[in-house]
Amino acid sequence: MADETVKKQPKDTCETFCYDEELVTRVQPKIDQVQGVESIFKALSDTTRVKIIYALTLEKELCVCDVANIIGCTTATASHHLRQLRRNNLATYRKDGKLVFYSLVDEHVRQLVSIALLHKQEEVRV
């Protein structure tokens, strides 16, 4: 029989149950403040929408047709994703004649994307 040396993974859970009552009492009441934040991450969990949001960080505003060409999809697909970003308060739009232009709703969205990109670049270096 071959010598099978199996590396055991370190346990990533506590081996006994205990908790810091003071810490839990201090943090637990604040947890509900994150209610609804998951919708932002859900909206950004789609590759197409992340590409669109990133494109909107590079330009002040983009026409739906420009977005479609930048990410390589139809205008219908671009419009669908842009509407979802708008519904989740990540993008806003203005109509100019027959054209619709989208932009980021505020600087916070730009910062979210920038921070995510920085984190991803750091991950590659590690």
**pLDDT tens figures, 87-103:** 999 999 999 999 999 99
Query: Average model confidence (pLDDT) for the chain?
Result: 92
Q: What's the whole-number mean pLDDT along residues 97-121?
A: 96
Lowest mean pLDDT among 9-18, 61-70, 115-124: 9-18
Q: Which two tokens stand for residue 72?
A: 């390589």
Query: Which region holds residue 72: left if phi is over 0, alpha if psi is between -120 and 50, else beta?
Result: left
Whether the pLDDT of residue 4 is over 70: the answer is no
Task: Report the pLDDT value the prediction gives residue 96, as an integer from 0 to 100.
Answer: 97
- DSSP letters for 110-124: HHHHHHHHHHHHHHH
pLDDT band at 11 (very low <50, low <70, confident <90, very high): confident
Q: Which residues share a beta bridge with 96?
A: 99
pTM of the model: 0.81
Q: How confident is the model over 8-31, as a mean pLDDT?
A: 89
* CATH fold of 40-125: Arc Repressor Mutant, subunit A (1.10.10)
pLDDT for position 10: 78
Domains of the chain, by residue range, sit at 40-125
Tens digits of residue pLDDT in 42-95: 999 999 999 999 999 999 999 999 999 999 999 999 999 999 999 999 999 999
Taking each helix axis as running N to C, give the angle between helix 64-71 and helix 47-58, from 0 to 180 degrees, rounded to the nearest 10. 120
